[in-house]
Amino acid sequence: MTDEASGAPAPHAPAVKGAVAVYRGATLFDGTGGPVRSSTSIVIDGPVIRAVGDDAVIAETLPADAQVFDLDGRFVIPGLIDAHQHIATPPDRPVAEAVLRRLVHSGVTAIRDMADDLRQVGDLARATLVGEIPGPDIRYAALMAGPGFFDDPRTHQVSQGETPGAVPWMQAITKDTDLRIAVALARGTHASAIKVYADLDHATVAAITAEAHRQGIPVWAHATVFPATPGQIVMAGADSISHVTLLAFEGTDAPLISYKNKPPVEYERFAAGDDPRIEELFALMRQKGTVLDATAGMWASEALAGDGPEDAARAAANTELAAVLTAQAHRAGVDIATGTDYETGPEDPFPALYEELAFLVHRCGMSPEQVLRSATLIGARSAGAEDVMGSVEAGKLANFVVLDDDPLRDIEHLRSVTLTVKRGRRFERREFESTAPGAGRSDRDRTPEAEVHAATHPVEETR
């Protein structure tokens, strides 16, 4: 073809190679584990970081046509990563686009979508990547589970027009499934991972994981798959496991029959934060390099508050369990990623990820520095993208966040975000605040009406 159409406009496209910009005068937390650096310049060439160094040294080598942005000592951190999102259960394009827009203007430059209708998610991922719409990069999973799971109403929401369990993004696995074909079908959705969800035994989880790894794709699993236990999932080689409260089923004497038929949680067993079975599990995770996508603050959110005293008691018990087990995992040296599995209401100026990070600091014994590492470098590792994101280093994507106040002193200072740079493209917070409902208001200014908005998607049931 000699007269190809240019396609849809891409006003939020990544910066083009050859367009050099320097952000100088930064107080930089680069995410590598090194100390915070003042008077630091970040040089980007299109979508990639070219150099990071002292202002004076960088100034000597800058090309004359470089665009210069003075940060005047403001704080810079790597782009944040939400390791557990669902943006299409059920598909609702306007809602998803609003969530993605708020995320990127709040410093979130990548998310893991943990199984959805990938017909829509794939298009949203393309649209945020090429810049048709504002939003973080989206790395998403295709789901596998036992046949018994597919009468769950969410599986119908994400398979509309097709048969749940019989589509490439959501497959029912039996003893007769050819896993080579199943994994290849999942990969054909352009998924970044296989998500292992429910109603699969240890041998099947191990076989799925082995085949996925043979075909070069990671496995993201529920922390208990029923009947497969957390320890069995880690031994099978899952790259990450989700939902810290599901770890309570490790070492239980009650049978793990199925996802829908779980034994009661023995809350008192974990109250002291030193359960030996869990300690053994964390040692195994550390040995295997398994990342824990804790979703620790989920049960403390409005999304799971419920409607009555029974729901409230359940949420309170699970909140305490999540805090205790996440703190134990942190003390044991397990790598913890920051996932949410819910989203704040549309009137909230900031995303749920901020609540998760605050929960990890205030309830789980992690310092702001440790939490930011979890939300950046460990998040990138959980997404299989540590080679291109998660820290502010030469050769990685130009993904970083500019803040007025120091987040290492107070994690709530993330709310002082003024600018997100994603793949070299600038996303000014003030542009978002000028158009988004409620975006310019502080928490104390939120109206009662804003508080009643539910999450933008049904929260994934984890018990």
Task: Say if strands 20-28 and 67-70 run parallel, antiparallel, or are unpaired.
Answer: parallel
My answer on whether 208 and 229 are in the same domain is: yes
User: What average pLDDT does the chain have?
Assistant: 93
pLDDT band at 2 (very low <50, low <70, confident <90, very high): low
DSSP string spanning 73-104?
A: T-EEEEPEEEEEE-S-SS--HHHHHHHHHHHH
DSSP single-letter state for residue 444: G
pTM of the model: 0.94
Q: Is residue 4 part of a domain?
A: no
Using alpha carbons only, give the angle 367, 372, 374 rounded to the nearest 5 degrees: 95
Q: Which residue has the tokens 């990547």?
A: 129
Closest CA to 93 of 130, 131, 129, 119: 119
Asked whether residue 151 falls in the same domain as residue 60, the answer is: no
Residue 435 is predicted with a pLDDT of 85
CB 27 within 8 A of CB 76: yes
CATH number, domain with residue 275: 3.20.20.140
Query: Are 50 and 61 a contacting pair, CB within 8 Å?
Result: no
Domain count, the chain: 2
Domain encompassing residue 414 = 20-77+395-451
Region 437-452: what's the mean pLDDT? 43
Instruction: Clarify whether residues 332 and 435 are in a common domain.
Output: no
Q: pLDDT tier at 454 (50, 70, 90 boundaries)?
A: very low
- Does any domain span residue 7? no
Decide if 154 is inside a domain: yes
pLDDT of residue 438: 60
Three-class DSSP category at 264: coil
How do 48-54 and 37-45 pair as beta strands? Answer: antiparallel
pLDDT above 70: residue 455:
no
How much is the pLDDT for 439? 54
Q: Is 1 part of any domain?
A: no
Residue-wise pLDDT tens digits, 364-375: 999 999 999 999
Q: Contact at 8 Å (CB) between 403 and 388?
A: no
Residue 224 has a pLDDT of 98
On whether residue 463 sits in a domain, the answer given is no
> Tell me, what's the pLDDT at 445?
42
Q: Quick one: CA torsion of 305, 311, 312, 313, rounded to 10 degrees?
A: -150
Give the pLDDT score at 275.
Answer: 96
> Which pLDDT belongs to residue 5?
75
For the chain, percent of residues with pLDDT exceeding 70 = 94
Q: Report, as an integer, the average pLDDT of 249-255.
A: 94
As a whole number of angstroms, the distance between CA 111 and CA 117 comes to 16
Task: Give Cβ neighbours of residue 239 (< 8 Å, ≥ 6 apart).
Answer: 193, 218, 219, 220, 290, 291, 382, 384
Positive or negative, the CA dihedral 408, 410, 412, 415 is negative
pLDDT at 461: 53
- Sign of the C-alpha dihedral, residues 361, 364, 369, 373? negative
* Residue 112 maps to a domain: yes
